[in-house]
Structure formats: structure tokens, C-alpha cells
A and B are shown apart, each in its own frame.
Chain A
Amino acid sequence: MSIKGKAYIAGVYEHPGRNLPDKSLAQIHAELCKGALEDAGLTKADVDGFFCAGDTPGLGAISIADYMGLDLKYTDTTETGGSSYVCHVGHAAAAIAAGKCSVALVTLAGKPRSEKMAVGTGMRLGAKDAPETGFENIYWPNTTNMYGMAAMRHMHEFGTTSEQLAWIKVAASHHAQWNEHALLRDVVTVEDVLNSPIISDPLHRLDCCVITDGGGAMVIVSPEIAKSLKRHSVKVLGHGEAPKHISGGRVDLTFTGARWSGPRAFEEAGVTPRDIKYASIYDSFTITVLETLEDLGFCEKGQGGKFVSDGNLISGVGKLPFNTDGGGLCNNHPANRGGITKVIEAVRQLRGEAHPKVQVKNCDIALAHGTGGSIGTRMGSATVILGSE
């Protein structure tokens, strides 16, 4: 059994705000749901499935379902960090294919910017009962130095350079200039990235994503419902996911779980990396993109630096336009987990509704990839492949 063609993304909505001190977290979730349902041409009464992750306030999906007044037949509170919402596309499609629900809502919301969280450099406290806590947190790993360790090893094994990593930020900034909602809209150069202060070796401030409030929502529906709607729905072609961890001490930080999630998604969709016209690649840091591109097969392992150099990720210029909304590096990384924005920009591209300056011509097949947790220790990885049909 496959989910190919069994579900469609009928509505998407990204919150236009990036700093929302005057809104509650539940309120943001509800505004997002309203926006996505309106985009699809559906109402709250049509929703019978709800998919959320650890950013949702209260008990799993239950508190927020109560708050919004949703009557549900199916809920799923998968938590794999920033990749959760990419997983949700596959999980919702599977639930729809099995007849468990027919209109699934997916939400992500958070307020780390207005709450002034030191996301990248603050200590990760770790869950008291998590088995790794006693052996890791005492060494003060934080988000930036763990991704820094991955970058250091990649540089050591493959000769990757800070200049090459900087090209990823440069490409994102070229796209963000056209996004009126992006937090950072200034186009930057390789020199700008290299001249920004080092946070943790070898990552500069401009190698790191933004910290933003807001979020996104999606409505995923059955083929029958998609057909009944006026709005252009996007077909779910394939999905794959995989956790990657430290394997009892067999640590290899030069690859991500995309090595496994990617092939699963490509196989289900019946396409190859060459068929992808646009890719949303999770970009918590520049190194996250570089390793993921290799793992998904857009280039050979170790060749990511060469691949991203000279603007190959810039729409209209390079071989593989990526993150045309400006991505997490410039536009939005709501709740410190931008997975849903990856799917949303892929839907915009497939609908032909990305900003005209970054719209990919004849965009018929797109990929969205999410990374959650940390590539320095353990992560969730999820890939979806979508078609414009």
C-alpha cells in the first residue's frame, strides 16, 4: 500500500507576523487554522482529523481541539521536533487513505522571539528522565555548538569551507528580499557571512537561522474533497521518515537521517532527485542544508560545498532553487522548528503562487524536507514529495 495520490494539500497559511507579543499561543494556532481553512475553501465543521506536535499547548491535540471547538475522529501528536510537520503530511495521507478521516488540519505555532529565548546559545536543559541527559547536558551542548561539531567534521573529511557554507545564506537572502514578511530582507554576500561574529566554531551568526514567532497550518484532504474544491490542491506523491541517533557511540556527524527518509519518499513517489524542480530544505543552519542536499542525492556525499557555491540554490540562477521564501535563515523559523513553512513554500511553488521573482517555471514536482532535534546527537528526518498534478 502506498499513499501516492491518496491525499491532497488543499489549503496552507503562514502567519504574517514574526513578533507577536500580544497574542496567546493557542490564539496563534487558531488563527493559523482559520487561515488554512479559508485558503482551502473549507470550514471548521469540515475538519475531522488534527495533527500537531510538541509546540501545541496542553495535552497533545486535546486541549487545542477543545479551544478551537473541533469535533474529531482522528488525532496524531507525533513529536520529532522541526520535522514533525513534514511527518504529518505522510501521517495524514495514511490516515486519509485508510478512511480514518478526510479533512486533516496540521498546525505549528510558537513565540520564542517575543519570549526572548536564547535558542541557539542558551543551555538545553534536557528532560530529567531522558536517558542521555546525565551524559550530555552536563557538557553544555547547545544548538549552535552541536551543529558546529557536525560542520567541523564535514570540513575535516571533505574539505568543505566556510565560504561554501556562506553561499547557502547568500541564496536564502536573495529570495528573502522579495518576501514582505521575511524577518531579514537584506541581500548578503559571502563576505558579510564570514565577517559576522563566530558563535561556535565554525558557524558565524549568519550561518544560523532566525528566531521568530508565528507559525503555519495546512489542510490535507481526500481526493474526493480536493476535487470538489475550487482551489488548486497539491498532490501528495511520497513520504519517508527516519530517526538518526548516536547508535550506542558509533557517531557519524557527516550525514543526516535524510539518507534514509529521502530514498523512501523518492521510491513511493516514483521519481528521482533529477525530477525535483524546487526543494524546501530545512535550514536551521547552513550546515543542515549542505548535509541534507548530499543525503537526498542532489549531489555526491562530500560534494555539497561545491554544489552550493556560485549561487546554485538561487532561483532563476542555479540548478536547484531552494527555500524561495527566504527559509529559516532569513524568513521564518517559528517555534524554533520551521518544518511546516517548508511544506507551505513547496505548495506555493506548485500552485505557481510564489513571488514572481522567485517562482520556478513549470514547477510540477517539489520536495520538502524537515530536520528536528539535533544533527549533533539525535534527530528526526522527514521528506515529502508533492506534485502540482
Chain B
Amino acid sequence: MSEMKYEAPVVNQETEHFWNATKNGTFLLKKCNDCGKFHYYPRSLCPYCFSDKTVWVESKGAGTLYTYSVMRRAPIPYCLAYITLDEGPTMMSHIVDSNFDDIAIGKRVKLVMKPTAGEEKLPCFALA
């Protein structure tokens, strides 16, 4: 399998902290201190209760494959996926470092931080 080449992420004022943390391999989630819920992608205001008391928490980096689709008609086929993190939210990502034939919904996955064209790293997942 050829390695994917990821672009540098689009970073803004609200997401700079998230992407800076990835430079050291850290994958952060946002949690609301008022309603207690995690959400994804990270926002400054909680999308559930609209509280501004949202804080960054490091993810345990483990989850379950919710769904996926291997894009066959691409120069390098890749596996787009949704991962349901153990913290609760489901996030879009890639299944990497795994044989496409072994991928199945419901399988456990673990975090793999992949390099991008920038200093930031990209949260991806491999079969556990």
C-alpha cells in the first residue's frame, strides 16, 4: 500500500490549539463542563447546551468502526471512515495501516497520528 500524502490542515482561531497539540502527537477532544458531554469536531460553544465552558481533554485514542467506504476510483485507494470514540462522539477519519479486506464495521480501532505537509499531525485509526 502506498502511503497517503495529507495536506496541511486548515487552521483557524478556534482550532489552533487542537492542531498545535497534534504536533506532539496529542489528539484533543472538546468536553462541556456544564452538560458533561464530549462533542466533535471541536467548538468553543457546546453544540448541545450552548455553554461556553468547553475544555480540551486528551482522547484515549480508542474506538469502534461505525462505518467506512474504500474509495477504489482514486490514484491511491483509501478508506474513509467514521469512528465512534470511547468518549462518545463519532468522527470522520481514515482507516490506515490495515488490509482493506480485514476492515469491518464494529471492529475496534486505535489512534495513529499521521504526518501532514505541515508540522501538524492528522488523527487516523488502524485496526486494533
Residues of A within 8 A of B (CB): 121, 128-129, 131-142, 144-146, 148-153, 156, 197-203, 246-251, 253, 377
B69 contacts which of A121, A200, A246, A249 (Cβ < 8 Å)?
A200
Q: Are B105 and A156 in contact (CB under 8 A)?
A: yes
Query: Min CB distance, A373 to chain B, in Å?
Result: 15
Q: Are A152 and B69 in contact (CB under 8 A)?
A: yes
Given A152-B67, A199-B72, A248-B48, CB of A134 within 8 Å of CB of B9: yes
Query: Min CB distance, B12 to chain A, in Å?
Result: 7
Q: Are A149 and B91 in contact (CB under 8 A)?
A: no
Cα A200 to Cα B81 with chains together (Å): 12
Whether B56 is near chain A, meaning CB under 8 Å from some CB there, is: no
Residues of B within 8 A of A144 (CB): 69, 71, 73
Residues of A within 8 A of B37 (CB): 248
Query: Min CB distance, B73 to chain A, in Å?
Result: 5
Q: Are B10 and A198 in contact (CB under 8 A)?
A: no
Can you name the residue of chain A whose Cβ is closest to the Cβ of B37? A248
Q: Max chain A CB contacts within 10 Å: which of B10, B46, B89, B93?
A: B10
Q: Per-residue 0/1 for B63-74: is the Cβ within 8 Å of any A Cβ (1 yes, 0 no)?
A: 000111111111
Whether B116 is near chain A, meaning CB under 8 Å from some CB there, is: yes
Can you name the residue of chain A whose Cβ is closest to the Cβ of B91? A249
How many chain-B residues does the 8 Å CB contact rule pick out? Answer: 44
Query: Inter-chain contact count A-B, CB under 8 Å?
Result: 118
Residues of B within 8 A of A142 (CB): 71
B80 contacts which of A129, A141, A202, A251 (Cβ < 8 Å)?
A141
Residues of A within 8 A of B67 (CB): 149-150, 152-153, 156, 253
Residues of A within 8 A of B74 (CB): 121, 140
Can you name the residue of chain B whose Cβ is closest to the Cβ of A126? B10
Some 14 contacts from A to B, beta carbons below 8 A apart, are: A132-B41, A134-B9, A134-B15, A135-B15, A135-B91, A145-B80, A153-B66, A199-B72, A200-B69, A201-B69, A248-B89, A251-B66, A251-B82, A251-B84
Whether B21 is near chain A, meaning CB under 8 Å from some CB there, is: no
Residues of B within 8 A of A129 (CB): 12
Given A138-B9, A139-B92, CB of A248 within 8 Å of CB of B69: no
Query: Min CB distance, A160 to chain B, in Å?
Result: 13
Q: Are B47 and A248 in contact (CB under 8 A)?
A: yes
Query: Min CB distance, B108 to chain A, in Å?
Result: 16
